[in-house]
Structure 1
Amino acid sequence: MSLDSTEGLPLTVMSYDRFTAICKPLHYLVIMNLQLCLKMIVMVWGVSLASSVVLYTLTLNLPRCAINLLDHFLCELPAMVKIACIDTTTFEMSVFALGIVFVLTPLLLILISYGFIAQAVLRMKSKASQRKAINTCGSHLTVVFLLFGTVIVTYLQPGNSASKDQGKFFTLFYHIIVPSLNPLIYTLRNKDMTDALKNLVRVAYQSTKMKKRRKS
């Protein structure tokens, strides 16, 4: 039920890591030292925990007047707000303000990082270096667009503009589908895994083709 935009904080940290690796490769080990990594981990966990506690407290304190039927897969914040029996305009505006902080701010920082990365890649003279840089950032950008897209649609829109089914779909998408795709998206960066996946698809295709021939 927490504002799942806090999941964007690790992606922001990862974008800074890629910015350092591509724009300042000679200073990478000095900048991304153990102390800085530990500080960023503590910051991400601390901010995520604090925002979750605040939202849990505010949402659970909303009066529900014996209405306890939740039309949703999870105890998601928008669904919990809808069954409250008071005017929740002020609460929704507060959640919207938090959404600006925890969704748009990390997204803006990520876009700024990738703006510098794009400039650095365009200045590279080697095509191999450009391909390597794009390969490094491609999987991360894919996850960024998948996560932030669904979170923005879910939280940063007027309360009555989205249907219940739409809210359920996006909740299912970023709670189950996006995390399930993450290992595949990041693994495809590995050339051996990519080659293995291609071979698997080729074998499956040839096997299907042979079965069709036998039937005919």
Structure 2
Amino acid sequence: MAAPCPPPPPDPQFVLRGTQSAVHALHFCEGAQAQGRPLLFSGSQSGLVHVWSLQTRRAVTTLDGHGGQCVTWLQTLPQGHQLLSQGRDLKLCLWDLAEGRNAVVDSVCLESVGFCRSSILAGGQPRWTLAVPGKGSDEVQILEMPSKTSVCALKPKADAKLGMPMCLQLWQADCSPRPLLLAGYEDGSVALWDVSEQKVCSRIACHEEPGL
């Protein structure tokens, strides 16, 4: 018996137009920067970040910090007025958007030309943790921010043959202060890392293709 067809997607409430190139990253924000009015950040293939008001359905401003290279990841910090953008120019930019500003106040140079998106672990404190693809093809670099201090490099054992990291997610369980990292790899497996111990807690083969 054939599997039932999935239901069609719902009709959109509205459509935002004007990026002039394909969109590769999206991020919603309801923090301080939004001031009670939800915002949507979109990163385009042309290297621009558009900040959209979901109330007026128009672009509030456009950020240009990646030299025309595709923007692949966007994330706001808990304070709401700072934005991280990652691009194919091997640069991760920290933007100050408070009080109408749109300036890059800091940046991190990346050493991987892959498509892996970074991840943060921030609990509203001045210091926060950043996971980025590392210099080695199968390596993940953990940094303490904003000092950019290297915490460790997470590298699977040589015989694991997981390939490049394709997606990252830092998180922390409610019952433990130890940071954890979920990493999806090129071989389709997902590994759970204990960042403090720099070791894999568990790994499961989930997909026949690279995990995204």
Higher relative contact order, structure no. (Cα contacts within 8 Å, ≥ 6 residues apart): 1
Please, what TM-score do these two structures have when normalized by structure 2?
0.22
Please, what TM-score do these two structures have when normalized by structure 1?
0.22
Greater C-alpha Rg: 1
Question: Greater helix share, 1 or 2?
Answer: 1
Question: Greater strand share, 1 or 2?
Answer: 2
